Structure 1
Amino acid sequence: MSFELHGAVAVVTGAGSGIGRASARAFARRGARVVVTDLDGARAQAVADELGEFGAASISAACDVTDLDDLQFVRDLALERFGRVDLVMNNVGILAVGPAEDIPLEAWQRVIDVNLLSVVRSNLVFLPLLLEQGAGHVVNTASTAGLLPYGFDRLPYTATKHAVVGLSEALALYLRPRGVGVSCLCPAGVATNIVEQMTFYGKPAPPKGPRFPVVDAESVGELVADGVSENRFLLLTAQEAADELRELGADVDMYLSRLIKDTR
């Protein structure tokens, strides 16, 4: 099952910068009509304006993914302007960084609300449309920190990204037989403005884990567009992560022991 981006209507959250912006550009470059959303409405509008260089029809909206009403507004806007929704990319994430004992409960609640429950809200809003038409695609942005156990210095982020991976895997089993594709993007190092979404607590602990190459956001956007077109599930920005994942699966205790030893 492949997915035709040309003429499709794509909704992208967190599209005002970084991976979301790059993915919106890649979708538009392939002929998709794009609904650009971001918490910062001005940023969303600026990206929508950029997409004109590809001859793509686009609209923008300010959208807080912790607000169900905002997502419903985006859905209704897409239907009013383009008559349908074919592709939904859930791409919003924030980080609380610091030792596990120093990150307060309210920080955990905020990260869970933004990183995980935003996907749940999106599913409630958009999946009925995709299922009714029997076609479409969902992209959830997770992280290699959601595949591998190295992110103890950002534990709420790590926990929610593991949850997004599991949610996406289960959704693929449910949606693919119904004609709706699912991809899970797991970036490693990407040059973005993610630092704007980081809150620090206590004394930062040095992370333990593999060092993956840093790539530019535009190449990640192309990866996402190709992955959607080819209906691939796991999208990695660093193929080295696949080797780490195989090693982890073969022997978890040995893998953890190796990480601890390598980073002392």
Structure 2
Amino acid sequence: MSIDLHDAVAVVTGAGSGIGRATAHAFARRGTRVVVTDRDAERAQAVAGELAGLPGPGGGSVAATCDVTDADDLRAVRDLALDRFGRVDLVMNNVGILAVGPVEDIPLEAWQHVIDVNLLSVVRSNLVFLPLLLEQGSGHVVNTASTAGLLPYGFDRLPYTATKHAVVGLSEALALYLRPRGIGVSCLCPAGVATNIVEQITRYGEPAPPQGPAFPVVSAESVGELVADSVSEDRFLILTAQQAAIELRDLGADVDHYLTRLIKDTP
């Protein structure tokens, strides 16, 4: 079920910076032609320009402006990929934003915006791209979630945490549905990654102290390589910190005990 990244065609959202940019590079180095999408047209063009200097098929990558809250933008990206390359083999849904602050201070409008960007963007992408993958009977989907979508520590960013838990559940169910139909599914759950995610944070009220395991911070480039390797190997869960796997096992073994331990450790 794994796909050959050489000469494949990938669509990556939020590819103008951070994990999206690094993964676009990792795909292109393996010979994948990437449709680099971002809401910021200049960033998308800059990354596509970087890829253009690579040898092989990856140098044929293109840029597209895309707001993932707009289904018409996603359809335009699909049509660009089909017009330019004739197919789509891989879709990475990578856009995410945060609303940070005490739970009682984050307004409903912020919740609605985070849900629209972090969760409903994946739904829109599925509606646009899955018919193509199902028709050809092959392909791969990567959804970017977070360790905050696996573990119960993100109360200081609760809309983000809730949507990332939803993306994990959506991805697990998609794997059950799509893998028998020849389409791989991966769920990327990064912990600390050195990116410009701070640009996507809206803050409310007095800052809540962060809570949770102390995961190491890794480079976006290492995450991009990890994603590309995981797609090639058809792995579902992609973790950037192996300690997260231990935490996840502890949580599954005894939820009450795990929550009690976290509460005792809360300042």
* TM-score of Structure 1 vs Structure 2, range by shorter chain: over 0.9
Q: Which residue of 2 aligns with 1:28?
A: 28
1:239 maps to which of 222, 239, 242 = 242
Q: Which residue of 1 aligns with 2:132?
A: 129
Q: Structure 2 matches for 1:211-222, cutoff 5 A?
A: 211-222=214-225
1:12-61 CA deviation, whole Å, 9 max, x = no partner?
00000000000000000000000000000110000000012322211101
Q: Which residue of 1 aligns with 2:252?
A: 249
Alignment partners' CA distance in 1, 2:53 and 2:250: 44
What SS class does the counterpart of residue 103 from structure 2 fall into? coil
Q: Structure 2 matches for 1:1-264, cutoff 5 A?
A: 1-55=1-55, 56=58, 57-264=60-267
* Structure 1 vs Structure 2 CA RMSD: 0.5
Q: Which ranges of structure 1 fall in alignment gaps of 5 or more residues?
A: none
What SS class does the counterpart of residue 51 from structure 1 fall into? helix
Alignment partners' CA distance in 2, 1:54 and 1:144: 32
Query: 1:223: Cα distance to partner?
Result: 0.3
Alignment partners' CA distance in 2, 1:160 and 1:222: 25
Alignment partners' CA distance in 2, 1:53 and 1:165: 35
Query: 1:3: Cα distance to partner?
Result: 1.5
Q: 1:6 is matched by which residue type in structure 2?
A: H
Query: 1:262: Cα distance to partner?
Result: 1.8
Alignment partners' CA distance in 2, 1:150 and 1:129: 37
1:48-80 CA deviation, whole Å, 9 max, x = no partner?
000123222111011000000000000000000
Query: 1:197: Cα distance to partner?
Result: 0.1
1:124-161 CA deviation, whole Å, 9 max, x = no partner?
00000000000000000000000000000000000000
Alignment partners' CA distance in 2, 1:48 and 1:168: 28
Q: Which ranges of structure 2 fall in alignment gaps of 5 or more residues?
A: none
The 10-residue stretch of structure 1 (74-83 or 46-55) with the greater mean CA deviation from structure 2: 46-55
Alignment partners' CA distance in 2, 1:72 and 1:113: 17
Identity of aligned residues (%): 84
What SS class does the counterpart of residue 104 from structure 2 fall into? coil
TM, length-normalised to structure 1: 0.99
Runs of 4+ off more than 3 Å: none
Q: 2:49 is matched by which residue type in structure 1?
A: D
